[in-house]
Amino acid sequence: MYVPAHFNESDPEVLHALITQHPFGTLVTHGKSGLDANHIPFELLPGERTPGTLQAHVARANPLLQDIADGDEVLVIFRAGDAYISPTWYPSKHEQHRQVPTWNYVVVHAHGRIRIRDDEKFVRGVVARLTRTHEANEETPWKMGDAPSDYLDGMLKAIVGLEIDITRLVGKRKLGQNKEARDIRGAGEALRARGNVQISDAMLACAAQKPE
């Protein structure tokens, strides 16, 4: 990924937070059949001395499992929002007319090596943790014990776990940092008026940190 210096995000805590807040990732592999991409939710386990580990699961019927081998290099892409930016939203455009359209976005690329974890204990743990995380805000959270044990056992046998040891995290926050504060703020406010709170909030925070 091309990352100009003014768009680079290298703070591990920020990158971990972005992954945790946007856990639905795109797993890109290059196995025996060539390039492939699978879209699955991940759980991040931060490491003390490493970038951390990603855990997930896929259907046993997924050809991915026959296509990759333990230790293969993979890439997981986490998208944390994006938005089209019109040049008319920049105050400077109406003075100088020297602006063009662009697209702002926040992404994290997690590079790592993958392992297939085909054991019931690992898979059950991944499903339990993902469930607890994503049911936490429900009025009556669903838990694995709510399902009949024979039914749940059958469902767990139909999936296989994945574990990725992260070797490198690359982050990019393209929020107009190369522009004047008033232009970042103008575009951020225009996005907010159109309902894109995610990128607008990030842009307005960026504008607040930049001298006028």
DSSP code string of 27-78 = EEEEETTEEEEEEEE-EEE--SSSS-EEEEEEETT-THHHH--TT-EEEEEE
- Chain centroid to Cα 142, Å, comes to 24
Q: How far apart are the first and last CA of the chain?
A: 30
Q: How big is the chain by its Cα radius of gyration, in Å?
A: 21
The confidence score (pLDDT) of residue 210 equals: 84
Ranges of the chain with pLDDT below 50: none
pLDDT at 83: 97
- Tokens at residue 151, please? 């039914």
Chain centroid to CA 174: 15
What domains are there in the chain, each with its CATH number?
5-178 (2.30.110.10)
Torsion sign over Cα 13, 14, 16, 20:
positive
Q: In whole angstroms, how far apart are CA 175 and each of 27, 66, 169?
A: 25, 40, 19
**pLDDT value of residue 96:** 81
